[in-house]
Amino acid sequence: MYTRNSRTAALKRMNGHGVVNDSLHVDEPQDIVRGALTKEELQNILFEKIGLSKRECREMVNAIFEEMRAALEAGEAVKLEGFGRFQPKDRPKRWARNLKSGEKIPISERRVVTFHPSKKLTADIEHQKPGTTPPPGTRIS
């Protein structure tokens, strides 16, 4: 079975300094579906591609997510070029209905985070669907 760690074959260490990249693109089987990309996998990818220690990679990933969390808590949007925008949004108080009893239930106001993908990410995802072609003018990398 394919795992992310099989990418290490594409990377070579030179004299313990830095990493030489023979080919970062490894053909991945298209039929294998995974649940989700985790923080641990992100740390391992940084370790493999950049060559920092695992501890440094873990600290880097945690620092990035901590800064994103702090910005969202402060009411700021987080924009990632070519990926999308995370934005806090206040939801007002509303009424819902219990489908079994028909009783009205109050739902208090709350703050949620919404995600808006970039046009590039949307086009890339759409291109990955079987039987679709990319929109005109879309760069395929």
Domain hosting 100: range is 75-141
Question: Both 58 and 124 in a single domain?
Answer: no
Q: How many Å apart are CA 67 and CA 45, to the nearest integer?
A: 20
Q: Same domain, yes or no, for 96 and 106?
A: yes
Please check whether residue 111 is in contact with residue 90, taking contact to mean a CB–CB distance below 8 angstroms.
yes
Task: Look up the pTM and report it.
Answer: 0.60
DSSP output for 72-99: HHTT--EEETTTEEEEEEEEPPEEEE-T
* Residues 47, 85 within the same domain: no
CATH classification at residue 138: 4.10.520.10
Please give the chain's pLDDT, 141 residues, in tens: 334 443 333 333 333 334 444 444 444 545 456 689 999 999 999 999 998 999 999 999 999 999 999 999 999 999 999 999 999 999 999 999 999 999 999 999 999 999 999 999 999 998 877 665 655 665 655
Say whether both 79 and 136 belong to one domain: yes
